[in-house]
Every structure is written in C-alpha cells, then in structure tokens.
Structure 1
C-alpha cells in the first residue's frame, strides 16, 4: 500500500480540538473544589511569606527562597520568626473569637473586627450595662465575660498585652449621675469590665484601661442607631506596635 493511501486512513495527529476546552474546564473545576475545601485552613502569614519571595508584587519587595528554613541574613529560621509566630497567634485568636461569640455576633451584642490596634472584641454597652450607668448587668454579661476570659488566657496569648477602651455617644451625662461627664462614665465602664475579667481568671498585669468618651465614634451620631453603635466597650488584643 502506498504512502498516500496510508495517510488518508490515518486519524488526525494530536487530540481533537474539543479536548482543549474540556481539559480547561476540568482543571478549573478541580481548582475550584480544592479552594473550597481548603479556604478555612489558609495560613495568611505563610501566604505573605510566599508572596514576599516574588519580585514585582505590589508592596512585596521579593525574597530569595520559598522554602521554610534558615535565613542566612537573619541567622534565624523563617518559620520560627517571633513576628510570624505572634501573627499566627492573633489569627488563631480571631477564629476562636468568631466561633466563641457566634450567638452574640448574630444578635449584634458582640462585634469582632481587626484594625491597626489589633483584634477588637466590642461589647455593646446597651446589652451589658444598666442605662446611663457603669454598673455591669452581670446576669446578661456573665457568660460573655467568662468566655472572653477563657479566650484571653489561652497559652498562645500568654505574652500579649490587652487594652480595654470605654466609649460613649455624644449625649451628656445626667446632672444627677455620679459621672460628671462621659470621660468618667467610659473609664468606669472599662474598669468594671476589667474587674470581672480578673474575677474570671485573667492576669491583671497584661491589661491597660482607658476611657475615650465620645472621641472615637464608629457611626453617625445624628441617629439613635448610630449612637447605640458608638456606646461600646472594646477589648483589644494589641499588636506589637500598640503596646
């Protein structure tokens, strides 16, 4: 049989065109499901280390290796650097707080956020204090404060510093109130929260307390909802830069 006849009977070389599209689709589906499976387990600090190993990635200036190991310039081990370990502890604390206070987060009695200060656990003043008072409504607050104490005494946070900040809205205190102004009221609320946390087992030496009155609002003061949002006590797991 001659070569011309052979070529007419041979199938086209390579895979059919539709296989390219099919292969792309299968790859994308695999990537999607792997991401869905692992998204809760991402270690953001390891991710930052990996990104820093590349040049030209925005604020990341690049590095020399992706491998966890000795960093010759630092004389240390990358995966055991203190800042990275402390960052992981804060990330674990956030996950624990979101899980611990899930019922109160749904009812807006507790908020868990992050800002430049660190991890912020906000207690809605209207839910945990008697009206226009620094007295803690302990029947309402006991469970939350006990769980908060347990969170703050975990081994990962044993070398951390914490700050309790009291905040009010802009309404003046009552003339018959024992608190001359919102400065005294906000400070007293923060201090009383600390007293209960100490009763429930925290180390008092790790804490700072401050009253900020209405100087740090988080919402519009012209509405009752905004004022309620601003009346709060923030318990903050501080970053190293805000000790």
Structure 2
C-alpha cells in the first residue's frame, strides 16, 4: 500500500487579527492629548473642565453631546468687565489732561509772564516767578498771590500724584535778610507754598519741599531779567502715584 503523503498548506500561514491596534492607538493618542491639556491648563475653571471632558467623551464614544459649554472657550453667561489700561498709562493720560487745563488757566488769567509750564520726564512743572509770590528777600506769601495759588490747587487735586515744591534763587547773596544763605531762603519759600497748599486741603502725604538756592538756574545770572527768571518756586506734579 502506498503511503499517503502528509499535506502541508504552505500558502495559508496562520495570521493574528491585528485590526484592534488602530482604535487602541487612537485611544492612546486621545488620552495623551487629554493629559497634556490638563497639565497645561493648571487653572482650568469648572466650566472649561466640563467642556474638555464632554469633548473627549464625544470622541471616545462617537456620540455627539449637546452642551451649552461646547468648546474650550464657552460664551460667558454675563458680560465680562473690560480690561483697563495699565496704571502707568492711565496716569500719563491724566497728566496730559492736567497739562492742558493748566495751560488754559495760565492763558485765561494772563499769567504767561509770571507762570511757565513744562512737561518733563520728572513730571508737569509749574514755575512761578518770585515777584508774584514774595517781596524781595522774604518768604511769607503776598496776599494777592492766594488767588493764583488757589487756581493751581483746584487743578492739582484732580490727580493723585505726589507733589514736589522746589525753591530757587539767583546768585545774589542773601544779605540784609533773616536768612543766612540762599539755601535757607529758597527752602523757606518752598515751605511757605507747601503750607498754603496744606491749608487748602491738598493731602499732606503727597507733598515734599526742597531748597536749591542758586545752584539750578534757568539762565546765566548776568542780567536783571535772567536773575528774575531764576528766582522762582516750581511746583512739580510728579509722574506716578
């Protein structure tokens, strides 16, 4: 009897079904994305967290979930307050308005020859010649200077900025006065303006004064006109609050 040859089917090797790897890879990708989002959003609020979870549930189950919070940036139920300008920018705008008001005040009252205005890096500087405020060699305010100072007070109080009051003299020695030097005279004049502002309800904690004597002149002290311009009290509305 002829032996039957054992048959081998070489054309049909046994294969495993690997179709499950595709959804498995998708699942891993979704889970990785979930953890990345949760890690990045360290301060996710409750509404956004719910939106994230609903989105991933929809992807994993293939079911569309209707939600008023769909997406990562749901429309807020109430209007959000407008983002304000940075404090520094807001204060600069206030100083710009103040400068315009001071210019108008000076022009309206014909004070151009006695009061000057300058916008500097330090702040808004209002310089008053000494003749509008004081008698020669004195530091007590003239009574008729009150009206001018009152107008400044009303405008200065529209902003919260600190105020520096600075006294200046010419280079003529302070002889025949109660002050031993131009430093004392300039400081006393600045202090007089400070005390008057304080009496008119300018907040005391905002103010400071200093006396520079003859050492910060606007012009060379070589003419009477220049010396008169150098004798001044400058009210500086400083930048920042």
- Mind listing any 5+ residue stretches in structure 1 that lack a counterpart? 1-75
Normalising by the residue count of structure 1, what TM-score does the alignment of the two structures yield?
0.62
Indicate which of 137, 153, 159 corresponds to 2:157.
153
Who is 2:88 aligned against? 83
Kept after mapping to 2: 8 A contact 1:124/1:233: yes
* Deviation by residue 1:74-110 (Cα, 9 ceiling, x = unmatched): xx94x61111101101101100111112245554111
The alpha-carbon distance between structure 1 residues 191 and 94, as it changes in their structure 2 partners (threshold 3 A), is same
CA distance in 2, matches of 1:101, 1:135: 23
Matched, 1:115 2:120: yes
* Deviation by residue 1:153-210 (Cα, 9 ceiling, x = unmatched): 11xx12x111000000010001x31100000000000000111111122111100100
Kept after mapping to 2: 8 A contact 1:104/1:110: no
- Mind listing any 5+ residue stretches in structure 2 that lack a counterpart? 1-81
CA distance in 2, matches of 1:217, 1:103: 28
Who is 1:217 aligned against? 217
Deviating 4+ runs (over 2 angstroms):
103-107
Give 3-state SS (helix, strand or coil) of 2:93's partner: helix
CA distance in 1, matches of 2:149, 2:201: 10
CA distance in 2, matches of 1:89, 1:122: 20
Give 3-state SS (helix, strand or coil) of 2:127's partner: strand
Bigger Rg, which one: 2
The alpha-carbon distance between structure 1 residues 83 and 217, as it changes in their structure 2 partners (threshold 3 A), is same
Kept after mapping to 2: 8 A contact 1:101/1:144: no
Kept after mapping to 2: 8 A contact 1:172/1:182: yes
Kept after mapping to 2: 8 A contact 1:166/1:186: yes
Kept after mapping to 1: 8 A contact 2:219/2:227: yes
Aligned length: 160
Give 3-state SS (helix, strand or coil) of 1:236's partner: strand
CA distance in 1, matches of 2:111, 2:192: 25
Give 3-state SS (helix, strand or coil) of 1:80's partner: coil
